[in-house]
């Protein structure tokens, strides 16, 4: 295969190109190689490798799809996910890259054009991949799959994987692409540029409301995990002094030593988790740190208001370091844990709840509500906002967009798969005991319910009344393995709570507790053994809560700037648009905190635990935002004259609109599921005068919650319908006028690139050769002086 | 080169790669990039000290908030 021909620009002997290679190299006007044309080069070993991957993928899918009445290993889920991702990334994402994005490395990216030394600064693709993943990932994918597991694993695993391949990752990549072609403009700005003022305004308002809802929902999940748990409250509370120590250390003692600071913080964090165990065991200190949900809401609201007012370096930045480390480190630990622990799946492909609409973790039919409940791991509208933020300003070469945009979202989806594994490998009885609110337990247990029995006994009674089967086709059981013996029934729940160092695990809705149990099972298998389960459980709670609180911190800030921008549109309030104006800052922070704080408070007061009411509103708003992303992308694709490939964003757009609009309609009009129906039945029970004391107060809270969620549902529907109408109108007028071309959009005109960098995670041999030539090229030398 | 030395060389290279990645991702290496770039674009001039650079960067982030978020 050595048909090397000396190339024009006298490359060194080890960088000689073949004729085929030379034809693919893109050179700018001074002969500098600045890129390589994307092309699939097939060799026999490569073809064989992909054939093997395809066979393994098909085999793994068939194991998951047709397994009935037999044990299967959770590793199949990992295999299914990874092989599907690989095929999608290599073929479908590549197809989109060639047909729609038409990435051209001859063109300079925003980072190369502007290079202001701040945001517009070329970042190494592997580094940017990590940073982009850290920016898009949050606690969302850890929650949805846990709640959806009540219907069995198959619908969830199908949606997480197919959803990310055809919708979620496509959205992230194409949003990144249109933003990168427009100097990293934001979602709202692009909507204004391409679809007019109305479109831009809708997105701006939408983003504020969606951010507030996301924060309220995620904070609710964290609070559900921390309520009445002195261990969790203490260790999470300790993150505040830890962050302060880290902040001061980095600012005064060792400026700029981020890694050192992070390691210091992590060590303190582990100590705080160990310390939490001692606090929980201490009869004097434990009650001090035992806070109920409402107290935690007040603490959280006060805290995040303070965090927004304090300088960044003191609290927010160090917390960001910690949660980024935890995010990436824990994901790696978990993947290893799943492989080593090799847990058996307990849940069948479909449970009886899959064909019903009254499951405990979320209400409504599989379609559309499962696709709403699993939002972030498969498709998340928020990523549209993130992808049009900092990342497009730092991309070195256009050809890297696939790896950064599509690749990061695949990792996010993989997180959701891990969460799903956590939920389906614990005993179903334990799962339902944890994920039913006290009211649901009472209703399900029926005559077996006894007010004088312990919550564990009632939960076990409720589980025994549910006709849900396990993977072997038998009625599900409450089981827990403790110190080598298997305990069942109420004792199992007692033993589980005791093993992980909690008072009780019953009715710990929200998914965080379930995830923590699963995660502790994986990690104890190779780090510390049986005795370490309590530590890993609280490590997992800490991981998730830290994640969520970082989101709440950032979200409050983001919402505050968004509110400031919105208010700044009004002439008399123009001053609010200035982010340095202190009084304005305080007012917008107050508005942002009040927005999510109120929703959160109503959520915890809800008799059904709040999660049940909040999941749909969170999922719908997030997925509707995705519809907005796909609409914008479709407009850009059509305007660029690529109408025949518009199906790539249009198919997920249609699916997403079908899911969200059906769900939203049901949430407004359905006599069982609707928020207004809930409100009127609550109103009736309040009017009947049978409620008193806290029950009455909670009923009022649930009532306002239902009204608020109902109004928000209507608001979302109207807003997004208007946005889609504007989008369709833009598409139609573009097609009618036959006015196609990049120059008619807000896309930046071509500018010659002077820079080379490889495209994928690992540089190919050709890329290394070109890199070598690039670095030693006379034109490059002249530029460096 | 014997096998042990070869193994050590590989381990050392892997370790350097990890450190490089951690420093880049965390932003710790940002100041060095600034100094390199400053030397290229303003030869002979004195760049900001690390502390001053970090303060300037912080101020810049305060004035140009990143408004994308989460989940």
Q: How many other CB atoms are there within 10 angstroms of residue A329's CB atom?
A: 12
Facing B69 at nearest CB: one of A121, A324, A382: A382
- Tell me the nearest-neighbour CA distance from A468 into chain B, angstroms: 32
- What would the mean pLDDT of A492-520 be, rounded to a whole number? 93
Which of 3.10.20.30, 1.20.1740.10, 2.60.120.200, 1.10.3720.10 is the CATH number of A52-228+291-427+536-742? Answer: 1.20.1740.10
Facing B70 at nearest CB: one of A257, A262, A551: A551
Nearest chain B residue to A318, by CA: B26
* Position B36 in a domain: yes
Q: Where are the domains of chain A?
A: 52-228+291-427+536-742
3-state class (DSSP) for residue A389: coil
Kindly determine whether residue A385 and residue B62, on different chains, have CB atoms separated by under 8 Å. no
Q: Which residues of B touch A382 (CB under 8 A)?
A: 69-71
The span from the first CA to the last CA of chain B, in angstroms, equals 50
Sequence-separated contacts (24+) of A250-259 with Cβ below 8 Å: A250/A313, A250/A317, A250/A318, A251/A313, A251/A314, A255/B50, A255/B51, A255/B54, A256/B28, A256/B31, A256/B50, A256/B51, A256/B54, A257/B28, A258/A321, A258/B23, A258/B26, A258/B27, A258/B28, A259/B22, A259/B23, A259/B26, A259/B28
Given a cut of 50, whether residue A7 has pLDDT beyond it is: no
Nearest chain B residue to A325, by CA: B26
Say if A568 is an interface residue toward chain B (CB within 8 Å).
no
| Whole-angstrom distance, CA of residue A415 vs CA of residue A139 | 10
pLDDT digits (tens, 9 = 90+) for A127-149: 999 999 988 888 889 999 999 99
Instruction: Specify which residues A488 forms β-bridges with.
Output: A479
Residues 6 or more apart whose Cβ sits within 8 Å of residue A551: A138, A139, A214, A215, A218, B69, B70, B71
In chain B, the largest separation of any two C-alpha atoms, in whole Å, equals: 57
Confidence of residue A182 (pLDDT cuts 50, 70, 90): very high
| Whole-angstrom distance, CA of residue A359 vs CA of residue A353 | 6
Say if residue A562 is exposed, middle or buried (CB neighbours under 10 Å; 0-12, 13-18, 19+): buried
pLDDT digits (tens, 9 = 90+) for A328-353: 889 999 999 999 999 999 999 999 99
3-state class (DSSP) for residue A709: helix
Q: Residue A754 phi/psi, 5° resolution?
A: -125, 30
Residue A1: C-alpha distances to residues A9, A231, A475, A571, A734 (Å): 22, 65, 63, 70, 50
The span from the first CA to the last CA of chain A, in angstroms, equals 38
| Whole-angstrom distance, CA of residue A545 vs CA of residue A510 | 12
Token digits for A280? 């929980």
Given a cut of 50, whether residue A752 has pLDDT beyond it is: yes
Kindly determine whether residue B21 and residue A784, on different chains, have CB atoms separated by under 8 Å. no
Rounded to 5°, the CA angle A622-A628-A630 comes to 110
What integer pLDDT is reported at residue A6 of this predicted model? 43
Token digits for A301? 């609201």
Say if A785 is an interface residue toward chain B (CB within 8 Å).
yes
Least confident of A8-12, A60-64, A373-377, A609-613: A8-12
Nearest chain B residue to A384, by CA: B68
Facing B58 at nearest CB: one of A138, A262, A312: A312
Q: Which residues of A touch B58 (CB under 8 A)?
A: 312-313
- Tell me the nearest-neighbour CA distance from B16 into chain A, angstroms: 14
**Which residue is listed with tokens 């900092």?**
A390
- Tell me the nearest-neighbour CA distance from A684 into chain B, angstroms: 37
Given a cut of 80, whether residue A782 has pLDDT beyond it is: no
Mean pLDDT rounded to a whole number for chain A: 90
Kindly determine whether residue B64 and residue A119, on different chains, have CB atoms separated by under 8 Å. yes
| Alpha-helix runs per DSSP H in A249-365 | 258-281, 285-288, 293-309, 316-341
What integer pLDDT is reported at residue A677 of this predicted model? 93
Count structural domains, chain B. Answer: 1
3-state class (DSSP) for residue A451: coil
How many residue pairs from chains A and B have C-beta atoms closer than 8 A?
99
- Which of the residues B44, B59, B67 would you substitute to probe the A interface, choosing the one with the greatest number of A C-beta atoms within 10 Å? B67
Instruction: Specify which residues A36 forms β-bridges with.
Output: A25
In this predicted model, which residue has the larger pLDDT, A779 or A621? A621
The DSSP letter of residue A74 is T
Confidence of residue A523 (pLDDT cuts 50, 70, 90): very high
Residues of B near A (Cβ–Cβ under 8 Å) read 21-28, 31, 33-34, 37, 40, 43, 50-51, 54, 57-58, 60-71
pLDDT digits (tens, 9 = 90+) for B27-54: 899 899 999 888 888 888 899 998 999 8
Kindly determine whether residue A130 and residue B23, on different chains, have CB atoms separated by under 8 Å. no
| Whole-angstrom distance, CA of residue A376 vs CA of residue A42 | 35
Q: By residue range, what is the domain housing residue B50?
A: 3-63
| Whole-angstrom distance, CA of residue B9 vs CA of residue B22 | 20
Given a cut of 80, whether residue B63 has pLDDT beyond it is: no
Kindly determine whether residue A580 and residue B63, on different chains, have CB atoms separated by under 8 Å. yes
ipTM of this complex:
0.93
Confidence of residue A784 (pLDDT cuts 50, 70, 90): low
Given a cut of 60, whether residue A3 has pLDDT beyond it is: no
- What would the mean pLDDT of A112-139 be, rounded to a whole number? 87
Task: Give the length of chain A.
Answer: 785
Distance of CA B22 to the CA centre of its chain: 9
- Tell me the nearest-neighbour CA distance from A561 into chain B, angstroms: 7
Kindly determine whether residue B71 and residue A135, on different chains, have CB atoms separated by under 8 Å. no
Say if A179 is an interface residue toward chain B (CB within 8 Å).
no
Kindly determine whether residue A389 and residue B67, on different chains, have CB atoms separated by under 8 Å. yes
* Position B70 in a domain: no
Rg (CA), chain A: 27
Q: How many other CB atoms are there within 10 angstroms of residue A576's CB atom?
A: 23
Instruction: Specify which residues A485 forms β-bridges with.
Output: A482
What integer pLDDT is reported at residue B68 of this predicted model? 60
- Which of the residues A127, A254, A580 would you substitute to probe the B interface, choosing the one with the greatest number of B C-beta atoms within 10 Å? A127
* Position B7 in a domain: yes
Token digits for A45? 């070993």
C-alpha dihedral sign at A25, A28, A31, A35: negative
Q: Could you tell me which of A222, A106, A92, A100 has the C-alpha nearest to residue A165? A: A92
Q: What is the DSSP string of A622-663?
A: HHHHHHHHHHHHHHHHHHTT-GGGTHHHHHHHHHHHHHHHHH
Given a cut of 50, whether residue A771 has pLDDT beyond it is: yes
| Whole-angstrom distance, CA of residue A82 vs CA of residue A12 | 39
- Which of the residues A122, A255, A562 would you substitute to probe the B interface, choosing the one with the greatest number of B C-beta atoms within 10 Å? A255
| Whole-angstrom distance, CA of residue A695 vs CA of residue A442 | 15
pLDDT digits (tens, 9 = 90+) for A667-702: 999 998 899 998 999 899 889 888 888 788 888 888
Given a cut of 80, whether residue A594 has pLDDT beyond it is: yes
Q: Which residues of A touch B27 (CB under 8 A)?
A: 258
Q: Is the peptide bond before A233 cis (omega within 30 degrees of 0)?
A: no
Q: Could you tell me which of A147, A145, A141, A211 has the C-alpha nearest to residue A613? A: A147
* Position B69 in a domain: no
Beta strands in A621-714 (DSSP E): none
pLDDT digits (tens, 9 = 90+) for A387-433: 887 899 999 999 999 999 999 999 999 999 999 999 999 999 999 99
CB A717 within 8 A of CB A206: no
Instruction: Specify which residues A33 forms β-bridges with.
Output: A27
The 3 state secondary structure assigned to A82-127 is HHHHHHHHHHHHHHHHHHHHCCCCCECCHHHHHCCCCCCCCCCHHH
Nearest chain A residue to B26, by CA: A258
- Tell me the nearest-neighbour CA distance from A208 into chain B, angstroms: 11
Rounded to 5°, the CA angle A272-A274-A276 comes to 65
Token digits for A259? 């890694």
> Which residues, numbered 577 to 616 in chain A, qualify as contacts with chain B under a Cβ-Cβ cut-off of 8 Å?
579-580
Residues 6 or more apart whose Cβ sits within 8 Å of residue A423: A145, A146, A149, A347, A431, A511, A514, A515, A518
> Which residues, numbered 762 to 781 in chain A, qualify as contacts with chain B under a Cβ-Cβ cut-off of 8 Å?
none
């Amino acid at each position: 295969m050595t048909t090397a021909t000396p190339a024009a620009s006298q490359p060194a002997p080890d960088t000689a190109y073949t004729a085929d290679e030379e034809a693919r190299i893109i050179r700018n006007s001074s002969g500098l190689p600045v890129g390589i044309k994307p092309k699939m080069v097939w060799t026999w070993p490569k073809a064989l490798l992909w054939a093997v991957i395809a066979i393994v993928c098909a085999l793994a899918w068939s194991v998951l799809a047709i397994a009935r009445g037999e044990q299967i290993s959770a590793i199949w889920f990992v295999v299914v996910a990874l092989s599907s991702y690989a095929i999608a990334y290599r073929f479908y994402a590549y197809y989109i890259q060639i047909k729609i994005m038409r990435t051209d490395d001859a063109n300079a990216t925003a980072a190369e054009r502007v290079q202001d030394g701040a945001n517009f600064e070329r970042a190494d693709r592997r580094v940017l991949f990590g940073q982009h993943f850290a920016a898009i990932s949050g606690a969302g994918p850890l929650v949805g799959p846990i709640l959806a597991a009540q219907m069995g694993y198959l619908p969830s695993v199908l949606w997480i994987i197919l959803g990310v391949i055809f919708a979620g990752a496509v959205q992230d990549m194409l949003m990144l692409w249109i933003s990168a072609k427009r100097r990293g403009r934001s979602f709202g700005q692009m909507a204004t540029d391409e679809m007019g003022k109305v479109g831009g305004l809708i997105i701006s308002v939408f983003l504020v409301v969606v951010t507030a809802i996301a924060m309220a929902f995620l904070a609710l999940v964290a609070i559900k995990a921390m309520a009445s748990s002195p261990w969790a409250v203490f260790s999470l509370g300790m993150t505040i002094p830890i962050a302060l120590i880290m902040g001061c250390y980095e600012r005064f003692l060792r400026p700029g030593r981020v890694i050192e600071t992070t390691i210091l913080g992590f060590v303190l964090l582990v100590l705080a988790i160990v310390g939490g165990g001692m606090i929980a065991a201490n009869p004097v200190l434990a009650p001090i740190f035992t806070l109920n949900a409402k107290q935690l809401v007040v603490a959280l609201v006060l805290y995040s208001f303070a965090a927004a007012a304090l300088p960044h370096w003191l609290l927010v930045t160090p917390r960001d370091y910690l949660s980024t480390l935890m995010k990436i480190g824990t994901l790696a630990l978990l993947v290893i844990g799943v492989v080593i622990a090799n847990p058996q799946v307990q849940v069948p492909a479909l449970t009886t709840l899959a064909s019903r609409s009254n499951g405990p973790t979320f209400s409504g039919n599989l379609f559309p509500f499962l696709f709403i409940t699993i939002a972030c791991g498969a498709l998340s509208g928020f990523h549209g906002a993130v992808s049009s933020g900092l990342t497009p300003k730092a991309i070195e070469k256009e050809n890297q967009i696939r790896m950064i945009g599509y690749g990061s979202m695949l990792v996010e989806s993989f997180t959701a798969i891990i969460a799903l594994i956590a939920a389906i490998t614990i005993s179903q009885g334990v799962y339902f005991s944890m994920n039913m609110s006290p009211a649901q337990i009472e209703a399900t247990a029926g005559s077996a319910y006894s007010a004088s029995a312990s919550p564990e006994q009632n939960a076990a009674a409720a589980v025994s009344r549910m006709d849900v089967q396990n993977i072997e086709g038998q009625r599900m059981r409450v089981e827990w393995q403790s110190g080598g013996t298997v305990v069942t029934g109420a004792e199992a729940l007692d033993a589980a709570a005791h093993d992980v160092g909690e008072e009780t695990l019953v009715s710990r809705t929200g998914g965080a507790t379930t995830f923590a149990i699963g995660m502790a099972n994986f990690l104890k298998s190779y780090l510390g053994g049986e005795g370490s389960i309590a530590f890993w459980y609280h490590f997992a709670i800490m991981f998730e809560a830290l994640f969520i609180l970082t989101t709440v911190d950032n979200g409050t800030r983001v919402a505050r700037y968004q509110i400031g921008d919105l208010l700044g549109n009004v002439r008399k309030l123009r001053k609010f648009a200035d982010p340095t104006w202190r009084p304005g800052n305080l007012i917008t922070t107050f508005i942002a905190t009040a927005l999510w704080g109120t929703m959160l408070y109503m959520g915890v007061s809800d008799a059904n635990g709040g999660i049940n009411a909040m999941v749909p509103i969170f999922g719908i708003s997030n997925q509707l935002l995705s519809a907005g992303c796909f609409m914008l992308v479709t407009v850009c694709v059509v305007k660029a004259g690529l109408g025949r490939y518009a199906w790539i964003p249009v198919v997920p757009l249609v699916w997403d609109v079908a899911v969200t609009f059906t769900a939203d309609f049901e949430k407004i009009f359905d006599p069982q599921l609707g928020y207004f129906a809930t409100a009127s039945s609550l109103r009736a029970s309040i009017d009947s005068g049978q409620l008193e004391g806290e029950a009455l107060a909670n009923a009022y809270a649930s009532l306002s919650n239902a009204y608020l969620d109902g109004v928000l549902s209507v608001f979302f529907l109207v807003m997004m319908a208007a946005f889609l109408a504007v989008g369709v109108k833009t598409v139609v007028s573009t097609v009618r006028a036959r006015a196609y071309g990049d120059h008619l959009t807000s896309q930046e005109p071509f500018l010659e690139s002077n820079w080379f960098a490889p495209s994928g995670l690992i540089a190919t041999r050709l890329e290394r050769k070109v890199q070598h030539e690039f670095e030693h090229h006379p034109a490059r030398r002249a530029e460096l002086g | 080169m014997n096998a042990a030395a070869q193994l050590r060389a590989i381990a050392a290279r892997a370790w350097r790669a990890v450190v490089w990645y951690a420093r880049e991702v965390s932003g710790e290496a940002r100041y060095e990039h600034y100094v390199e770039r400053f030397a290229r674009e303003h030869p002979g001039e004195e760049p900001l000290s690390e502390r001053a650079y970090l303060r300037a960067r912080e101020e810049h982030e305060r004035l140009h908030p990143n408004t994308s978020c989460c989940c």
